[in-house]
Structure 1
Amino acid sequence: MNVEKITQRILDVISNEAMWIDLAVIFLKVILITIAAVVAVKVLRVLIRKTFSVRIKGPLLYNERRQQTLSKLLSNVVAYVVYFIAGVSILSTFTIDITGLIAGAGVLGLAIGFGAQNLVRDVITGFFIIFEDQFSVGDYVRIGAAEGTVEEIGLRTTKVKAWTGELFIFPNGTITDVVNFSIHNSIAVVDVNISYESDITRVESLIMEFLDSLQDRYEQIIKPAELLGVQNLTTTEIVMRITAETLPMQHFAIAREMRRDLKDFLDQRGVEIPYPRMVMMQRSPEEMATAKNAKT
């Protein structure tokens, strides 16, 4: 008897046309909401990219690094908001009380906020890092003991990759002191060692001749290089200093190229580069006898 009743109920459910129509409507609404959310996210992301690209190429000068970072951040925020609205809309199609759900989520978020103060601090600091343009993706920075290129800036963490391959991950709330090497131009410093036997006046004129050709040779050099003069006098050599203003973080490569080219330039013109020397002295028998008599 129970089996017959259960079977009859199953048949009644299966044959209920109104129920199937309602399920089909709900399923169609879910599909349409999902498609609309995906399309809206893609369209809004394209609009954000187009807007920032127009601002960068416009007559007004904008910081391209900051625009790209803000563009990525806004794209992510738009995706989160649209998908949240889509999720709420999908729940509403199943006749779930959205008002109570949102109120409960607000209370839960408040409780989480009190219990996760570090997380809130990281998110707030992340906003300030991005909007104040303290540093951006691709910048070469020093944060604490870590130094390298910024790989990613999120609302909670920042990732910095050292030139040796290590990846440093910092919670944004712990970032207090930052040195950004990529905002302003860099200075390449090259010290040239000259022997004491060289004519300093001639060497200075040759170095000036070499410096005059640097901007044509290296596009990374912004201003004409300068010969500051004699930097130091050691027991074996004269040290002369050269400086050149370069694009940000190009000073290391330019300094290496300048040392190589300057070495070849001075060699071709007979300027001697100092090197360690050993002087051997041998006394004659008369000098040795005189020194021995002087001791006695």
Structure 2
Amino acid sequence: MSEKLQDLWIYITGPNLWIAIGQSVLKIIVIIILASIVVRVGKNIIDRVFSKKQGPIRISERREETIQKLMKNVLSYVVYFIAFIMVLEALSLPITSLLAGAGVAGLAIGFGAQNLVRDIISGFFIVFEDQFSVGDYVIVAGAEGTVEEIGLRTTKIQSWTGEQNVIPNGNITQVINYSIHNGLAIVDINVPYENDIAAAEAIIEDVVKRLPDKYEEIVNTPVIHGIQALETSHYVIRVIADTLPVYQWFGARVIRKEVKERLYKEGIDIPAPRLVMYSRNEQPTALEIDNNRKERETGNGR
């Protein structure tokens, strides 16, 4: 036993062990530095490829940014995984046995990681089917806001109030994308019955035809669709405007503001609710009695 302890002490204090440890540490440092350099250079190459925008293939800017970020993430995962394998090899660990054991363990874990696999597959379909891209305003899985990032497993959406929603890609089963096509600003304008319909529509038409020149978010001249409803104290005129994507709410606010100011200048106020009350104990006047008598006589004559 004493001889074995003495041999162990000589091996620990001897130069061979520390030279081997130093070589392994140096290899690991070099591997990490090279992996970082490869990732940085690869990301720069990806940025340059997308910045040129040349060739027969043309893709939208929103999808270009999404694919660019996804390629960077995949590059990082692949390079660092290879670096991890090389680090294990530098530590003189049995890579083949570890990979074989990892394959068996991965098969066992795979049955319990079905959601992870589903998220990754869904992420690829989201990108390559162009369901939505970075910068789009969407509603997915109950979250509404702007897409910040689309990863292999999750999608990050920032709501308009500032919260960040992290959603697994497998949970995205339905997408409402407001950034693909132009929006429609639908505005209902209430006008009192005392005002002429044709005159009110003429005033509104004079207002809306100036809006495309004043606001670039409104694409075409808004269209007056006529009387939408007849309410208790007013009628409703509907105006619909074609706007840039995601600007339909802004367009509706602009139309309300401009039309309200013009109607007010033309003497047309916003209609107020009306309530007419009758008293059961109120005595009829002589005029009311005479009118009732004439109505009875007219009815008997018929």
Report TM bin, short chain: 0.7 to 0.9
Partners of 2:55 and 2:241 in 1: CA distance: 31
Partners of 1:71 and 1:101 in 2: CA distance: 33
Q: Does 1:268 align with 2:256?
A: no
Identify the match of residue 21 of structure 1 among 19, 31, 35.
19
Residues 99-114 of structure 1: matches in 2 within 5 Å? 99-114=96-111
Give the letter aligned to residue 87 of structure 1: F
Residues 1-296 of structure 1: matches in 2 within 5 Å? 2=2, 6=5, 10-11=9-10, 13-16=12-15, 18-55=16-53, 61-164=58-161, 168-278=165-275, 284-286=284-286
Judging changes above 3 Å, is the alpha-carbon distance between structure 1 residues 285 and 27 closer, same or farther for their aligned structure 2 residues?
closer
Judging changes above 3 Å, is the alpha-carbon distance between structure 1 residues 286 and 20 closer, same or farther for their aligned structure 2 residues?
closer
Report how far residue 153 of structure 1 moved: 2.8
Judging changes above 3 Å, is the alpha-carbon distance between structure 1 residues 268 and 58 closer, same or farther for their aligned structure 2 residues?
farther
Partners of 1:289 and 1:229 in 2: CA distance: 42
- 1:198 is paired with a residue whose SS is coil
How many percent of aligned residue pairs carry the same amino acid? 48
Per-residue Cα deviation, 1:205-224 (whole angstroms, up to 9, x for no partner): 22222112111221111222
Q: Is the 8 A contact 2:123 2:153 kept in 1?
A: yes
Judging changes above 3 Å, is the alpha-carbon distance between structure 1 residues 237 and 60 closer, same or farther for their aligned structure 2 residues?
farther
Q: Is the 8 A contact 1:91 1:98 kept in 2?
A: yes
Judging changes above 3 Å, is the alpha-carbon distance between structure 1 residues 13 and 145 closer, same or farther for their aligned structure 2 residues?
closer
Judging changes above 3 Å, is the alpha-carbon distance between structure 1 residues 38 and 235 closer, same or farther for their aligned structure 2 residues?
same
Partners of 2:25 and 2:284 in 1: CA distance: 112
Report how far residue 271 of structure 1 moved: 3.0
Per-residue Cα deviation, 1:87-134 (whole angstroms, up to 9, x for no partner): 111222222222222222222222222232222122211211122111
- 2:204 is paired with a residue whose SS is helix
Partners of 1:186 and 1:213 in 2: CA distance: 19
Q: Note the residue ranges of structure 2 that are not aligned, 5 or more in a row.
A: 297-302
Q: Is the 8 A contact 2:141 2:171 kept in 1?
A: no
Partners of 1:101 and 1:73 in 2: CA distance: 29
- 2:19 is paired with a residue whose SS is helix
Judging changes above 3 Å, is the alpha-carbon distance between structure 1 residues 167 and 106 closer, same or farther for their aligned structure 2 residues?
same
Q: Is the 8 A contact 1:198 1:272 kept in 2?
A: no
Partners of 2:139 and 2:239 in 1: CA distance: 26
Judging changes above 3 Å, is the alpha-carbon distance between structure 1 residues 210 and 58 closer, same or farther for their aligned structure 2 residues?
farther
Judging changes above 3 Å, is the alpha-carbon distance between structure 1 residues 232 and 12 closer, same or farther for their aligned structure 2 residues?
closer
Per-residue Cα deviation, 1:125-180 (whole angstroms, up to 9, x for no partner): 12111221112233222235443333443322334444456655433223222221
Give the letter aligned to residue 109 of structure 1: G
Report how far residue 40 of structure 1 moved: 0.5
Report how far residue 44 of structure 1 moved: 0.5
Report how far residue 276 of structure 1 moved: 2.6
